[in-house]
Chains A and B, each alone.
Chain A
Amino acid sequence: MTDITETSREDSRPGAPMNASEVRAWFVREVLPLEADLMQFLHHNWRNKSDIADLRQDIYVRIFETARREIPARPRHFVFTVARNLLIDRVRREHIIPFDAVADVDALGFAMETPAPDRAVIARDELRRLRAALDRLPPRPREAVVLRRIEGLTGRQIAIHMGISEAAVSKLIDNGIRALADILYSDPEDRRNWA
């Protein structure tokens, strides 16, 4: 194991921050593609499903804080170590009786060892994945996304085209963007088994 120093709560502002855009690019490139595995891990190890969105957010925040000081060398290992530690902290702090919460943590070995998918394969399949993701969006948000991305309309033009108010279009788009992120990162087509 490499020494992974998790950010402690007293130490939230690192002295020598990494280049901010570098950290963001690293996060998008290395961490987000692991989200499906992370969600699977959280679903297996946390009883209360309504906590999961918050847990994920907190895990991402911890990861991001650490990466601003130093980009972790082994992203997959790092992400799951942060996730495990956060679940353990939460169990202790909230005096939750740890049913099977975190009991399955050894299954982590499996999650950590899974080889990263071949990037060339990811790139080649990207358009197919995107189309599949689009097909899973509800019809109205999908229409808004298509009008923007494929037809190149602005929000205002989409409102006119769909015959609805700009506020209504905004709502459709916001829902569409959130659903897209969930489909693309949490629940990609090729892994739709855990839920």
Chain B
Amino acid sequence: MSNAGLESSPAGGAAEIEADAAAWVRRRHFWDWSEQDQASLEAWLNESLAHEVAYLRLEAAWNRTERLAALHPFKHEQPDVERRNWRVPLAIAAGFAAIAFASAAALPLLHRPMETIYSTPVGGREIITLADGSKIELNTASVLHLAPDQREALLDKGEAYFQIKHDAAHPFALRVAGRSVVDLGTKFFVRNGQNQVEVALVEGRARLESAAVAPSRAIVLTPGDVAVASADTTSVTKMSAHDLANELSWRRGLLIFHNASLASAAAVINRYNDNKLVVDDPAIAKLTINGTFRTNDNQVFARMAQDVFGLRVTYRANTTRISR
């Protein structure tokens, strides 16, 4: 359209074009979309720049809402059946204290009071300093909701390290997957994994509560305790200060592996990078590695596998495959 300028707009022109553009965005994002539809859309876009800018603007707004999917974990706070299949990894299941898993009262999805939401992208890291000087460090791909009074938080996704100034009158409570960690003056680390929650206590004391269990039966964690809570069980094991420090090395942008399998180390690095390492050959998955790697550079890891184990590395746009 050559005269896309001012004199070409009939009254209501922009509004009509916007209505058409909205219908295209809706058809593309809500309904099945065929190659034929794509061709029709492109024909419409090519008719005029006014069509193109209207479509771009609406689609950009729609694409932004993709991040709303991060709110999805709330759904899991409502009773639902899938979590019955969660299992504690066998290695840590020994000596667990059973705590019935209780779902927090179902939260209305959209009408919670306005808290502050912090989120980090894959490979990101962020330090949140609270008014009382307490600090929360968010690791890669994590979402944390902080209540307006800053004494309650919800770790929706990912992991975080907490250094909480103790206030007996207003204890800090972290909610995570139906559990609460209530501080008794602490530094602790929480990971909200796919199907289990891990709480590691670094300093001080904290109480691990479950909504359905009387507070008197809550587990009190002391330094070195690592609690792993899954759908229906909680287990507590001890970890050395040295191992704990390694667990928290991400705070310095590092990942430290000590006798880790190649596959498990790759899985950890993958949490920090969009480009994913693929180790799908069982014969090499169990190779043992030791070393320190940067969280944001999986290529060093791939080269290590190549040089040390003589493995083959195949680079693709989104993956780096390690194979024999």
Residues of A that sit less than 8 Å from B by CB = 9, 12-13, 24, 27-28, 32, 50, 53-58, 60-62, 64-65, 86, 89-90, 93, 123-124, 126-128, 130-132, 134-135, 142, 145-146, 148-152, 154-156, 158, 170, 173-175, 177-178, 180-181, 184-185
Q: Are A27 and B30 neighbours in the complex by a CB distance under 8 Å? A: no
Extra contacts, 9 of them, besides A32-B57, A58-B6 (Cβ < 8 A), are A53-B18, A93-B7, A127-B117, A127-B143, A130-B65, A145-B65, A146-B109, A173-B22, A180-B62
Task: List 17 interface pairs A-B (beta carbons < 8 Å), by A numbering.
Answer: A9-B3, A32-B60, A54-B13, A58-B5, A61-B5, A62-B5, A89-B6, A126-B64, A127-B119, A134-B110, A135-B110, A148-B29, A149-B65, A173-B26, A173-B30, A174-B22, A181-B62
Knowing A62-B5, A124-B118, A173-B26 touch, does A150 contact B18 (C-beta < 8 A)? no
For A180, what are the chain B residues with a Cβ–Cβ distance below 8 Å?
61-62, 65
Q: Are B15 and A53 neighbours in the complex by a CB distance under 8 Å? A: yes
Sorted from nearest, which 7 A-B pairs have the closest CB atoms? A155-B30, A181-B61, A57-B14, A174-B22, A60-B53, A53-B14, A54-B9
Q: Are A177 and B126 neighbours in the complex by a CB distance under 8 Å? A: no
A27 touches which of B2, B56, B66 (Cβ 8 Å): B56
Q: Are B6 and A93 neighbours in the complex by a CB distance under 8 Å? A: yes
A interface footprint on B13-38 (CB within 8 Å = 1, 0 otherwise): 11101110011011001111000000
Interface size class of B (residues with CB under 8 A): 35 or more
**Closest Cβ of chain A: how far from B192's Cβ, in Å?**
16
**Closest Cβ of chain A: how far from B120's Cβ, in Å?**
9
Q: Judge if B319 is at the interface, Cβ distance under 8 Å.
A: no
Between B13, B32, B61, the greatest number of chain A beta carbons within 10 A of the residue's beta carbon is seen for B61
The main secondary structure of chain A at its interface with chain B is helix
The main secondary structure of chain B at its interface with chain A is helix
Stretch from B67-75, B160-168, B252-260 that touches the partner: B67-75
Question: Cα distance A142–B19 when bound, in Å?
Answer: 18
Q: Judge if B49 is at the interface, Cβ distance under 8 Å.
A: yes
Knowing A53-B18, A158-B30, A174-B22 touch, does A149 contact B9 (C-beta < 8 A)? no
For A146, what are the chain B residues with a Cβ–Cβ distance below 8 Å?
68, 109-110
For B30, what are the chain A residues with a Cβ–Cβ distance below 8 Å?
148, 154-155, 158, 173
Q: Are A58 and B18 neighbours in the complex by a CB distance under 8 Å? A: no
Question: Cα distance A35–B56 when bound, in Å?
Answer: 13
A interface footprint on B43-81 (CB within 8 Å = 1, 0 otherwise): 000000110111011101110111111111001000000
Q: Are A150 and B5 neighbours in the complex by a CB distance under 8 Å? A: no
Q: Are B2 and A13 neighbours in the complex by a CB distance under 8 Å? A: yes
A interface footprint on B90-121 (CB within 8 Å = 1, 0 otherwise): 00000000000000000001110010111101
Chain B residue, CB-CB nearest to A27: B56
Between B25, B75, B111, the greatest number of chain A beta carbons within 10 A of the residue's beta carbon is seen for B25
Chain B residue, CB-CB nearest to A28: B60
Question: Cα distance A170–B111 when bound, in Å?
Answer: 25
Q: Which of B140-183 contact A (CB under 8 A)?
A: 143
